[in-house]
């Protein structure tokens, strides 16, 4: 039972991170998304927006790799829970 809950939680976290990644890439590389952020930031806006979201994207990729490793471990049977 614990393994099923673990799998569900890790999959939900992975889906959340992927959704955040899509949002950051949209703002960093889409003209409309970039413009939306530029309107809010007046001092060197395009550089700020691009660098800020690329930094967040790279940080989130770290978590994506960890979640994928956990999912692979859970589905291959390498994660077990011991009741004591």
What are the residues whose beta carbons fall under 8 Å from the beta carbon of 67, sequence distance 6 or more?
Answer: 10, 13, 14, 17
pLDDT at 19: 92
What pLDDT sits at residue 18?
92
Q: Radius of gyration of the chain from Cα atoms?
A: 18
Please classify residue 81 by burial: count the beta carbons closer than 10 Å to its beta carbon, then call 0-12 exposed, 13-18 middle and 19+ buried.
Answer: exposed
Domain extents for the chain? 6-75
* pLDDT (tens digit per residue) in 50-76: 888 898 899 889 989 998 998 898 889
pLDDT for residue 84: 63
Whole-model pTM over 0.85 = no
Tell me the per-residue pLDDT of 12-43, one tens digit each, with 9 for 90 and over: 999 999 998 898 888 888 888 778 777 777 77
């Amino acid at each position: 039972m614990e393994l099923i809950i673990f799998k569900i939680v890790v999959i939900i976290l992975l889906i959340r991170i992927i959704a955040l990644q899509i949002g950051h890439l949209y703002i960093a590389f889409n003209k409309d998304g970039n413009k939306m952020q530029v309107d809010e930031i007046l001092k060197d806006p395009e550089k700020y927006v691009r660098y800020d979201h690329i930094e967040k994207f790279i940080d989130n990729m770290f978590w994506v790799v960890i979640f994928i490793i956990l999912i692979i471990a859970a589905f291959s049977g390498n994660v077990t829970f011991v009741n004591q």
